[in-house]
Amino acid sequence: MSNGLSDSSVGRKVLMALSGFFLLFFLMQHFVINLFSVISADLFNEISHFMGTNGLIQFVLQPILIFGFLFHLAMGMYLERKNSAARPIKYAMDKPSENSNWMSRNMLITGIMVMLFLALHFYDFWFPEIKTKFIDGDWSGLHNGEFRYWEELHHKFQDIIRVSIYCVAFIFLALHLSHGFQSAFQSVGFNHNKYTPIIKKLGTLYAIIIPFGFIFIALFHYFTQN
């Protein structure tokens, strides 16, 4: 008898949704922190230094986050592989757009685009950060006697190619989330006459505000270079 969460189709979808919720929550806090880089360099530096040096965040939450991403990616690929095996012979004539939207049918593609962007993002910020802290052993967060975080961020966004890649990646993320947000609720069994329409609207709002907010931040730094 199947009763495990990990060995049934329904259970795996629940796990997919839980990892999705987790990533949604992570993305939101990341966005809020980045927003401070627009408002105040000092505040942004303070928060970044706290996030970057707090033991709980660095040694507990960060590994959980990495696991969450890898899990979401691996489970997404696994489900998608099973799904395409479930239809070995395709239709000669198929009109999926008659009954479903593009975003819902291309979660793997939009997700993988986000993943590719993450590779660049890691190269830009995460690897240097890890190197500074764990290889060079420099936890001061200082460069020439001043906090380096805001400067580093600001500096990265002077390159129009990098800014463009960021913008495109966030459009894919917006597409991913415009389906994913409400889908995750359905996957865990949440469907309600009154609340589901609200969740769908919230999902659309989230999928617009957060990705385009990130785009705004990238453009803000690009246009305020001196």
Partner 1 sequence: MDLTLKVWRQKNREEKGRLETYKVTGISEHASFLEMLDIMNEQLIKEGTEPVAFDHDCREGICGTCSLYINGEAHGPDRKVTTCQLHMRMFKDGETIYIEPWRSAAMPVIKDLIVDRSSFDRIQQSGGFVSVNTSGNTQDANALPIPKMNADKAFDAAACIGCGACVATCKNSSAMLFVAAKVSQFAYLPQGKVEAKQRVLNMVEQMDIEGFGNCTNTGACEVECPKSISIEYIAKMNREFLSASCSSES
The residue ranges that bind ligand HEM (CB under 6 A) are 13, 16-17, 20, 23-24, 27, 69, 72-73, 76, 79-80, 107-108, 111-112, 114-115, 176-177, 180-181, 183-184, 187
Stretch (H or E) spanning 49:
helix 41-53
Q: Cβ closer to ligand HEM: 148 or 176? A: 176
Q: How far apart are CA 160 and CA 222, in angstroms?
A: 7
Please say whether the beta carbons of 75 and 19 come within 8 A.
yes
9: Cβ contacts below 8 Å, ≥ 6 apart: none
Q: Cβ closer to partner 1: 90 or 161? A: 90
69 binds, among ligand HEM, partner 1, none (CB under 5 to 8 A by kind): ligand HEM
CB atoms within 10 A of CB 44: 21
Please report how close the Cβ of residue 22 comes to partner 1 at its closest, in angstroms.
17
CB atoms within 10 A of CB 22: 18
Q: What angle do CA 54, 212, 197 make, to 5 degrees?
A: 100
5 binds, among ligand HEM, partner 1, none (CB under 5 to 8 A by kind): partner 1
Please report how close the Cβ of residue 106 comes to partner 1 at its closest, in angstroms.
10
Please report how close the Cβ of residue 110 comes to partner 1 at its closest, in angstroms.
12
Please report how close the Cβ of residue 89 comes to partner 1 at its closest, in angstroms.
5
Which residue type occupies 122? F
Please report how close the Cβ of residue 209 comes to partner 1 at its closest, in angstroms.
22
Q: Cβ closer to ligand HEM: 141 or 180? A: 180
Q: List, in sequence order, every beta strand (DSSP E) within 48-164.
A: 142-143, 146-147
